Amino acid sequence: MEKIRRTALVAGVANGRSLAWFSAISLLKKGYDVIITYQNDRFEPTVKKMVESYQKEQIKSGNGIRKCGGFLKYLPCDVSCDNSIRTLMTEDVPKVLHESSKTERIDAIVHSIAHAPPESMKQSSSSTTNTNEPSLQLVGTSRSAFQTTHDVSSYSLIALTQHALPYLTTVTTTTDTDTSSVTALTYLGSTRAAPHYNVMGPAKASLEAVVRGLASELGPAHGVRVNAVSAGPVNTLAARGVQDFTNLKQRTAENAPLRRNANPEEVADVVAYLSHGEEGAGAITGQVVYVDGGFSSVVAV
């Protein structure tokens, strides 16, 4: 029987620590063809090198991933620019699909993108110097920083999904494995005021609301599932923008029921599980799934 080819579009690879990169690897292991996207020229050389060395490794080791027949390609996409998203979805992705997999569908989209202007993630000048008092960082957010953060970190999920919709599988009979999916990465700062998370907290709350709204619209109309994975702290480029991140990570591990943080592979495996819709995940939509050692379930004192 001919193997069903599945294609995933994973947006937001900056380097080898990116949750998008780990997600791409997990999807490749499940036999997906994977297209990753990077923001701009700054990231292109790193991403190119990663993809090339991954491909060389597969050829050398033949460790099963390559035998799945999956390919790994990389394309640019700046989600703050409609033209860039349009070019990705109407020119670049169709070309790759046509040349490489001879399909015209995308089975899974992973959104692993966030950005806040650096000044909005720093201690504001009006903040107190007394360490016993909460710092005033969200209150110092400018209108434009608020808009940029929400645009890149939340609206982009709508924009990407909107442009990708023609390629997401439309199903007539829904079984647990034939639905396509959209999965976004989020953080607990959406529902709790997390130290130094500032304007990213409201942006993640917005992102999660977008997940629920899209799930409710796209389930009946297109059979598309939409979910979010809420990851505990992981050392990445984006995490470096959060002040005192090392302390946040350590305190999270100390207070989590499992007394450790989730590692990026675990986060990525849940992304791939939700994307694929296997083993019951085909009935999951509109949800935020926490992969954080249980931290989100307890009151830390």
Extract the tokens encoding 147. 């808009």
Sign of the Cα pseudo-torsion (232, 233, 237, 239, in order): positive
Name which of 77 and 218 has its Cβ closer to ligand NAD. Answer: 77
CA 187 to the chain's CA centroid = 11
The residue (of 179 and 230) whose beta carbon lies closer to ligand NAD is 230
Q: What's the CA gap between 245 and 197, in Å, rounded? A: 9
Residue of 32, 38, 74, 197 marked active site: 197
Smallest distance from ligand NAD to CB 299, Å = 20
Smaller CB distance to ligand NAD: residue 149 or 180? 149
Least distance (Å) from ligand NAD to the CB of residue 100?
Answer: 22
Q: How far is the CB of 6 from ligand NAD (least distance, A)?
A: 22
Point out which residues bind ligand NAD (CB under 6 A).
12-14, 18-20, 39, 43, 77-80, 112-115, 152, 185-187, 231, 233-234, 236-239
Whether 197 is a known active-site residue: answer yes
> Do 72 and 24 meet the contact criterion of CB atoms below 8 Å apart?
yes
- Nearest C-alpha neighbor of 182 from the set 271, 110, 85, 283: 110
Distance of alpha carbon 201 from the chain centroid: 16
Nearer to ligand NAD, 101 or 230 (CB): 230
For 190, the token pair is: 């959406």
187 in catalytic set: yes
CA separation for the pair 139, 117 (Å, rounded): 15
Q: Where are the alpha helices (DSSP H) in 111-178?
A: 143-150, 156-164
Catalytic one of 167, 187, 273, 290: 187
* Residue 150 Cβ vs ligand NAD, minimum distance, rounded to whole Å: 12
- Report, as residue numbers or ranges, the catalytic residues: 187, 197
